[in-house]
């Protein structure tokens, strides 16, 4: 049952990636130049409070033990990636993680 839920989440992530790719493609066609929506911009448009909470959590929990370089160079790098790319990668990883185990015949 757990593998099914992981695969289902992977399919939803891939569906979101396709939708984001279509939206970015239509924006690119309308602007006659390559445009994409960064993950950070989409996250801020969806729920700005959770983005601020994530930044505060990284600052108070992770940067204390690792260093102050975690948010700006590392996490900001991933937040600048296109939404469709992040969702496609997440969906692919979830589909791989939830794949069914190969059948093994019992040896008598």
Q: How far is CA 34 from CA 24, 30, 80, 82, 85, in A?
A: 9, 10, 15, 12, 15
Convert the pLDDT of each residue in 43-57 to its tens digit: 999 999 999 998 888
Beta carbons within 8 Å of 11's beta carbon, 6+ residues apart: 91, 95
Q: What is the pLDDT of residue 84?
A: 96
Residue 66 — very low, low, confident or very high, per pLDDT cuts 50/70/90? Answer: confident
Q: How far is CA 42 from CA 24, 38, 61, 67, in A?
A: 12, 6, 24, 27
Residue 62 — very low, low, confident or very high, per pLDDT cuts 50/70/90? Answer: confident
Same domain, 25 and 45: no
Q: Does residue 106 sit within a domain?
A: no
Q: Does residue 71 sit within a domain?
A: yes
Beta carbons within 8 Å of 10's beta carbon, 6+ residues apart: 90, 91, 92, 93, 94, 95, 97, 98
Same domain, 9 and 28: yes
Residue 65 pLDDT greater than 80, yes or no: no
The count of structural domains within the chain is 2
Full residue range of the structural domain in which residue 45 is found: 38-81
């Amino acid at each position: 049952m757990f593998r099914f839920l992981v695969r289902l989440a992977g399919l939803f992530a891939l569906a979101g990636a396709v939708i984001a790719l279509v939206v970015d493609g239509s924006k690119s066609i309308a602007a006659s130049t390559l445009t994409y929506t960064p993950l950070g911009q989409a996250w801020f448009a969806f729920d700005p409070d959770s983005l601020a909470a994530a930044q505060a959590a990284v600052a108070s929990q992770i940067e204390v033990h690792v260093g102050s370089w975690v948010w700006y160079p590392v996490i900001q790098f991933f937040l600048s990636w296109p939404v469709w790319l992040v969702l496609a990668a997440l969906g692919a990883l979830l589909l791989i993680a939830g794949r069914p185990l190969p059948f093994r015949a019992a040896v008598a």
